[in-house]
């Protein structure tokens, strides 16, 4: 994990963890202790910060130096097949986290990991289409959302 004082953020990259839905956010670290993502969204909609936005998470792509990586737990069903199993709480949390981050970083492009060639399947939905068509569920109790930074 490389640290720097300031860096330009040009991309918010949405991932799924490509795991079943039983995993917890705290499980997404490499063996050397470095985080796999900046933020992970649990199944209950809790956004867990795994590291500072100052850290570069290396996906072997030049654009990773200019990206924040946000993953939701899921993307694999019980048979091990890729599936869009992003639930309503995760969708709301993802939307609110993207809104929150865009208050700090301007002129950012929101993409899926597969749009940058970082994964073949992650996330298991089209991020641009979701951003254009998603309607927030105003009936959900927002007090249950933990937007831990």
- Tens-place pLDDT, residues 28-58: 998 898 999 999 999 999 999 999 999 999 8
Total-model pTM: 0.86
Is the pLDDT reported for residue 142 higher than 80? no
Number of H helices and number of E strands within the chain?
2, 7
Helix (H), strand (E) at residue 70: strand 67-72
DSSP string, 40-53: EE-TTS-EEE-S-T
pLDDT band at 6 (very low <50, low <70, confident <90, very high): low
- CATH 3.40.80.10 given to domain 7-144: yes
How far apart, in whole angstroms, are the C-alpha atoms of residue 74 and residue 82? 9
- Domain ranges for the chain: 7-144
């Amino acid at each position: 994990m490389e640290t720097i004082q300031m860096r330009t953020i040009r991309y918010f990259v949405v991932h799924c963890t490509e795991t079943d839905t039983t995993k917890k956010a705290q499980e997404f670290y490499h063996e050397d202790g470095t985080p796999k993502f900046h933020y992970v969204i649990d199944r209950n909609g809790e956004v867990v910060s795994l590291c500072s936005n100052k850290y570069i998470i290396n996906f072997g792509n030049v654009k990773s130096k200019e990206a924040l990586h946000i993953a939701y737990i899921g993307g694999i069903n019980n048979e091990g097949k890729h599936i869009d199993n992003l639930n309503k709480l995760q969708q709301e949390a993802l939307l609110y986290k993207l809104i929150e981050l865009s208050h700090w970083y301007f002129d950012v492009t929101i993409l899926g990991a597969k749009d940058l060639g970082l994964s073949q399947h992650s996330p298991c939905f089209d991020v641009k289409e979701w951003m254009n068509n998603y309607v927030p569920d105003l009936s959900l109790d927002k007090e249950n959302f933990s937007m831990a930074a």
